[in-house]
Every structure is written in C-alpha cells, then in structure tokens.
Chain A
Amino acid sequence: QSVLTQPPSVSAAPGQKVTISCSGSSFNIGNNYVSWYQQLPGTAPKLLISDNNKRPSGIPDRFSASKSGTSATLGITGLQTGDEADYYCGTWDTSLSAGVFGGGTKLTVL
C-alpha cells in the first residue's frame, strides 16, 4: 500500500490528452514539492517534472503538472505511442522523514 495514491492505469488515443492523479496528505504532498517520473518499458525511471511543475531541460512541453492541496496531477497532451510507460509521483513525507512514491500508473496509448 503506497503512501501516495495513483490510478493503476489510464488510456487514451494518439493525439489526445490524458491526466494522471496523485493523492496524498498534509504530511507529504500538502507541504512538499511533487516530482513526476516516467519509466519506459525495461528502462530506468527518468525525471519528468520537479518542484510541482518544472520541466527539466529536454522534456517537451506536452508534459505539464500542477498541485492543489494534497493532490497533484500530471497532464500529457498530443499523446504518442512512445509515451506508453509507467508514471510515478514522488515527494517527501515529513512524518516518515523519508521520500515516498505513488504506486504508479500505466499509460496505454490505444
């Protein structure tokens, strides 16, 4: 059981938009920055978004994120088959004094 809750899977057609939610509490998302990671099949995770909504160099602006209260959302527009991956949210949990991840969401581009 992960501290952060994500839907197990989402799907959408190529070219469409999808959102992935990440729900937590005041101990984690409510008082800390949220990051998002993309894990393509058979590869290591990669940072997609940091500090709630900042894209590292090289990440296309089709990827965006936001945070409100104790929840965060990742959005992907103009879906491509190459976006099929597992997506994880992550943050710090002040009650655990440790980092935490969501359970991950598998994106299928139909």
Chain B
Amino acid sequence: EVQLVQPGTEVKKPGESLKISCRGSGYSFTVYWIGWVRQMPGRGLEWMGIIYPGDSDTRYSPSFQGQVTISVDKSISTAYLQWSNLKASDTAIYYCATGYNIKTFDYWGQGTLVTVSS
C-alpha cells in the first residue's frame, strides 16, 4: 500500500525557517515524482513544485520559484519542503503527492498544517 506520511502541524513565527517532510513507503520511491501542493484556508489547490528522487530533477511553479526549496533524501525515502523566512501568508495546509509521471498525482499525503503567527 502506497503511503505518504507527513507531520500533522507546525507552528512558527514570522521570519523563522521551516523544513517539513514527506516519507514515502509501499512503492519504488526513486522512480515516482513527488510534489507539493498548497491549500490556504478556505481556498483551492495550488501546485508548488515537484522533484524526481532518482536524479533530483526539480521544477517549480513560477509563483513559488525562489520562495521555497524542494529537496529529497532518497536514502530514507523522504522529500522536503523548506522556507528560510516564513510569513503569515504562508499559513496553509501543505500536501505532498506522488505520481509515476510528472503530470498526475496518484497518491496524496494527509497534509501538514503550517501556522505562522507572532
């Protein structure tokens, strides 16, 4: 069974850094793309970026390029989404999702709620 495990919640202050994780199991981690999707409170899904664990090929949406960093540690089947300078507007649920091709997310994690507040 394919599973993507994410931490439930993170609470941070503006200006702080954060790295959230997504651990995959039940499938061949290195041959599936793994991406990140933002959902702000009461809003729709936003495609942020995606990485291919096999060679770390990474693509970002122009809206998120330079705002976040996506990385992967294939030795522990884990992908990461990282911020260096959080803002209140980064408050959202962040889902990781995986798919055999870059264009479809076949399986989704349960999401990490990131709250940024002073």
Contact = CB atoms under 8 A, between A and B. Distances in A.
Interface residues on A, range: 20 to 34
Contact of A99 (B35, B44, B95): B35
Nearest to A97: B59
Contact of B45 (A33, A50, A92, A101): A101
Contacts of A56: 106
Contacts, number: 67
Nearest to B64: A98
Interface size range of chain B in the complex: 20 to 34
Contacts of A110: none
Nearest to A45: B108
B62 A35 contact: no
A44 B105 contact: no
Given A44-B111, A98-B62, A99-B35, A50 B106 contact: yes
Interface string A73-110: 00000000000001010111000111111111000000
A91 B103 contact: yes
B9 interface: no
B61 A88 contact: no
Contacts of B49: 98
A99 B47 contact: yes
Given A2-B44, A44-B95, A45-B45, A99 B106 contact: no
Nearest to A47: B106
Interface in B61-113: 61-62, 95, 97, 102-111
Contact of A47 (B44, B46, B50, B107): B107
Given A35-B105, A50-B106, A100-B61, 13 more contacts: A33-B103, A33-B104, A39-B45, A45-B37, A45-B108, A47-B105, A47-B108, A90-B47, A91-B103, A97-B59, A98-B61, A101-B37, A101-B44
Q: Which 8 A-B pairs have the closest CB atoms?
A: A99-B47, A104-B44, A98-B61, A92-B103, A101-B45, A44-B108, A35-B104, A50-B104
